Amino acid sequence: MKPSAFDYECPTDLNAVLAMLGDTETETSILAGGQSLVPMMNYRLAAPERLVDINRLPDLDYIREDAGFVAIGALARHGEIKASELVGRHFPMMSEAYDWIAHAAVRNRGTLCGNLCHADPASEMPALMQVLDATLVVAKATGTREVTAQDFFVGTYETVLESDEMLTEVRIPIPEAGTGWGFEEVAMRKGDYAWCTVVATLRVVEGRIAAPRIAVSGVGDAAIRLGAQEETLAGAEPTSAVFEEIAAAAAAAVNPPNVEHISADYRRDLLRSLLPRVLSAAASRVAA
Ligand X SMILES: Cc1cc2nc3c(=O)[nH]c(=O)nc-3n(C[C@H](O)[C@H](O)[C@H](O)COP(=O)(O)OP(=O)(O)OC[C@H]3O[C@@H](n4cnc5c(N)ncnc54)[C@H](O)[C@@H]3O)c2cc1C
* Residue of the chain from 193, 218, 243, 267 that contacts ligand X (CB under 6 A): 193
Q: In angstroms, rounded to a whole number, what is the distance separating the alpha carbons of residues 70 and 170?
A: 8
Structural element, H or E, at residue 70: strand 69-73
Q: In angstroms, rounded to a whole number, what is the distance separating the alpha carbons of residues 150 and 41?
A: 28
Give how many residues touch ligand X by CB under 6 A.
32
CA-nearest of 25, 23, 36, 29 to 9 is: 29
Taking CB atoms, the residue at the shortest distance from ligand X is: 110
Cα dihedral sign, 57-2-105-161: positive
**Residue 33 beta carbon to ligand X: minimum distance, rounded to whole angstroms:** 3
Q: Is 130 in the site for ligand X (CB under 6 A)?
A: no
Q: Which of residues 135-164 bind ligand X (CB under 6 A)?
A: 161
* Residue of the chain from 41, 87, 94, 117 that contacts ligand X (CB under 6 A): 117
**Residue 242 beta carbon to ligand X: minimum distance, rounded to whole angstroms:** 30
User: For residues 22 and 178, which CB has a smaller minimum distance to ligand X in the complex?
Assistant: 22
* Residue of the chain from 9, 192, 244, 269 that contacts ligand X (CB under 6 A): 192
Q: In angstroms, rounded to a whole number, what is the distance separating the alpha carbons of residues 96 and 88?
A: 9
**Residue 100 beta carbon to ligand X: minimum distance, rounded to whole angstroms:** 6
Structural element, H or E, at residue 53: strand 50-53
* Residue of the chain from 167, 209, 251, 282 that contacts ligand X (CB under 6 A): 167
* Residue of the chain from 114, 220, 256, 276 that contacts ligand X (CB under 6 A): 114
Pairing of strands 194-205, 208-217: antiparallel
Bridge partners (DSSP) listed for residue 202? 180
Q: In angstroms, rounded to a whole number, what is the distance separating the alpha carbons of residues 232 and 170?
A: 29
Mapped onto helix, strand or coil, the DSSP state of residue 212 is strand
Q: Is 166 in the site for ligand X (CB under 6 A)?
A: yes
Q: Which of residues 30-49 bind ligand X (CB under 6 A)?
A: 30-37, 39
**Residue 168 beta carbon to ligand X: minimum distance, rounded to whole angstroms:** 7
DSSP state, residue 93: H
For residues 74 to 113, the per-residue mask of contacts with ligand X, x marking binding by CB under 6 A and - elsewhere, is x--------------------------xx---x--xxx-x
User: Would residue 106 be called left, alpha or beta, if left means φ above 0 and alpha means ψ between -120 and 50 degrees?
Assistant: alpha
Where do contacts with ligand X occur on this chain (CB under 6 A)? 29-37, 39, 74, 101-102, 106, 109-111, 113-115, 117-118, 120, 123-125, 161, 166-167, 191-193
